[in-house]
Structure 1
Amino acid sequence: MKKWIVGCLLTLGLLEPVCAQRVEASMDSVRKKIGSEFLLTLRTQVAPNTRVQFPKGQQFGPLEVLESYPIDTVKKSDRWEFVKKYGLTQFDSGQYILPKLAVRIAKKDVYTQPITVEVMPVQVDTLKQKMYDIKTIEAAPSPNNGLGWWIVLGIVGALVVVFILYRILKNRKTTTPTATPEPLVKPIEKATQKLMALDAAQWVSKGDVKHFYSELTEIVRTYLEEEIEIPAMERTTSELIAILELVSQNKNLRLSPETIATLEQVLRQADLVKFAKVRPDIQAIESDKNRIASTIITINKAIPEIEEVTDELEAWNAQQRELARQKQEAKARKQKQLRIAIASVATVGILIGGSIVYFGMDTIKDAILGNPTKEMYEGEWITSAYGDPNVELETPKVLTRVDSEKWAKNTYAVVKEMRTFTQGSLQEPLFVLVGTNYYKQEKNPYYNQETTQIDYDKVLEGITKSWENQGARNILYKNDGTFEIAEGVKGIRAYGTMTVESEEGEQHRRYYEILLFNQNGGLQQVAVSYCEDDPFGKKILERIQGSIKLQLFNFNG
């Protein structure tokens, strides 16, 4: 008996974990509208330390997984409850079955029960809510629209760039850090220091006598400018000595003629060394240096504490300073003008280059130089009828009738009646011709007696000969076969190229198209010609041909 009880207990212990391995699946609602979220909840209870893996994926059967929420864990007595939620949806109405989902518990898959859901459509009340037709396709605006505004904005931008560059260059010049001012030193002290530095440089021992005399004369000239305030650096030796003699006449400056003569002798010796390549000996060089030092000391002793120069010398100095100021201002103006010119040229170059890249070379050329066919195509067109029976069509300008006397005399041998209207000529950017002709049937080379039809090839040959009389050469044409307009009237289309000499004597190629319509012994024709590389000429041709309406011939024979 004891063994039986123990066996039952063991059996129950083994079955308990298996019976606990089940998963409950529930849905917050089984009916929702299209696109709404169905909240699916999976719930299971397991023993501690049991591993549970819920299903993953973007699609559970026909339902799409919008969101996979985190797992909630709750402890209940000696067991753990795991709760996993999913957000599901479907964008088509109808009934759908959520299939069995596998939850892995302790390395075994436990499946949920399938759930049926219904996705309801959204009802639209067309009586309360206005319905709209699908919009038609609209052409995108041409990149050439608003070109004028782009040019204006470009010019304004160029001016702004020029102003900014000017300010940068100006600020760079004005904000250049200045050197720290040197402490005030008397001219005699500065001259003495420079003479000592000249000795230390040892230019004579290095063989550069010319450099020695250049610095020696610069020392004495600088001293004279700072001490006596005369323009010594810019004057020749003769001019400097003349100024010193003028200054020495002042009673307040005790400068002897011997001192001036000594200075003149050294300066002239320096001129010979610098310009005549004279090379004095070592003793003469040392003597010249000592005489300059002695002259500087003598001049310094001769200058009173308050120096007064003559009115004539002061006026001369003021004149020289004014000339120097004007020269500096003129140089500054030229530099400023040069900077502005460089900045302007660079800005205009960038503007033109960018415009060419964005709009294209042809568009820029047309905007600046103008294009007659572009102006005609974009201008106001005129719809009118010409001839009898008439040919109605759109043209950029009104066609004018051609005087019949201008046609060749042999034309009247085969034509009963002819009305011709044109715009422009073969030498102009656009040529348009509209004509209606009645042909004679007797002995008429243009008329085929067997088929009672006009021979198109011979008519085209006649047209090309007429153009040759107007200066056209190398006329090539091709018959493109049947051409039909909206009224059901059929004719032929011929096209080709030719070379025409302009009034200025230049040769250029032209493209042309001719439409011929034969009705009851009569012929209606439309011809258009333009420069071969003109895109607006092609647009004009297509618009004219698309607007043609023909009145039927009633004449027969």
Structure 2
Amino acid sequence: MKIKIILFFLLLSNVLFSQKVTTSIDSTKKKIGSEFKLTLKTEVDTTAKVTFPKNKTFGRLEVLESYKIDTVKKGSCYELIKKYGLTQFDSGKYLIPRIPVFINGKPVFSDSIQIEIADVKVDTLKQKMYDIKNIIPVEKPFGNWWIYLLIFLGIIGLGVLVYYFIKKKQAEPKAEVIIFKSPIEKATTLLQQLEKKELWQKGEIKNYYSELTDIARNYIEEEIQIPAMESTTSELIEGLRNAAKQKKLKLSNETVENLEKVLKQADLVKFAKSKPLDFEIEEDKKRISNSIVTIHKSIPEEVEEDDELALWNEEQKEKARLLKLKKQKRVRIISTIGIVLGMIVIALGTLIYVKGFDYVKDNLIGHPTKELVEGEWIYSEYGNPSVRIETPKVLKRYDANKVMPKETMALLKEMQMFMYGSMLDDFYIGVSTATFKQETQVDLTQTAEGSVKIFETIGAKNILFKSEDFDTQKGIQGKKVYGTMTMIDKINGKSTKMYYEILIFTQSNGIQQITVMHREDDKYGKEIMDRVLNSVELQNYDQQ
């Protein structure tokens, strides 16, 4: 038993040992833009499933091409060879990170490799010199005047067409509004018109019952003044019984029950897709007609004078006239809105053609950073050691204890942070100052690299950066870090290409840092950045 266990672990260790990835590269030093060929090799069993990564970048190196996998059979095993073409367009030293290769679902990592990318030296003494080209005349915006004339005539023509269309619509004869003298006359006429349609004979039983019951409901609502149109069948029958008691209507139970039968039959047809037989439909029509007549006869007769009838007719005519005017007014309003919107669209199209889309977007729709550029700027002093800087808005103080780790704060005597916006926004300004408790030698290069790594913690990808020495106008030396990165919104997955610049100084046993970020394609953001960083002034503590 012990021998079997030992053999099992020996076999297991052999399998684990064989699952490794060999890493190699054609050269560790090349010029900017040249291709590095990275090779990953692994030897596996014939039944193993191997998955190589499909990344577009490895660290800060871009994958130009992912070559096909070469397979070499070695006895009972396969050797899989995968090559990648990598490049970088900034000089410096870069690290190709450990790359995971999944063998049977488990990651096996390659070795990391350090490479160097050198600048391309240009000897300007051996290059042929050329004269400065002459100024190229720019075509005047209104050189093609005939285009604008056609657009203007098109707007006028569109307006004329819409005007004649509206006039034609208004001139068309309107359907005559029939005025009925009484609810019973209206109900009787509508029942006759319904029979002429022959809906149920054509198979439109649902529409037939819908119109049949609507006629009855509308009659009851107008004649007895109960909300029949918006009531359920049971509510309508109950309301009819109550109204009969209150108004002393001579309604028999048979009449109410017949009406209730038809209404329930209509509900089954409309909602349960019931299909009554032809004789049942005829019976329901008779029940409705008889119920309407019976209800009408049960109402106490009232003698109406001729002048009252004439007044009622006049009121109906006035209502019809006002309804017609209201419809005409609504048509005119909708048409006017359509004409105005059409002319606005044409005007915007013309303006975009002449000035460009960016001009229209920035000046009509609005642009946040453009408003910052044109607003009133503030020149103020922040932190200790102090930083004097000009900004479009006053920077807001933030509690450093809520942002920085406790281990870091334990080394600091004081730290102050001031910000406008957020690193996750399209524009950001930040000023931070800190002083150490003990005398500390600060390495600005390491500090700059640490500042850039903060971007990774908030979701930045593909971070590219350069660093160089920087002097203020008063000769205070510091470090400038700048570059681009891709910010990923973790909520909606949207990515934004950002440009950043960081100025770092060390004075009076402390650190001063100014950070500005904006969208790479935001010209106003760049204008703000240049103005902010050019305004930086520091007090020279070393000369005090």
TM-score band w.r.t. shorter chain? 0.3 to 0.5
TM-score relative to the length of structure 2: 0.39
Larger Rg: 1
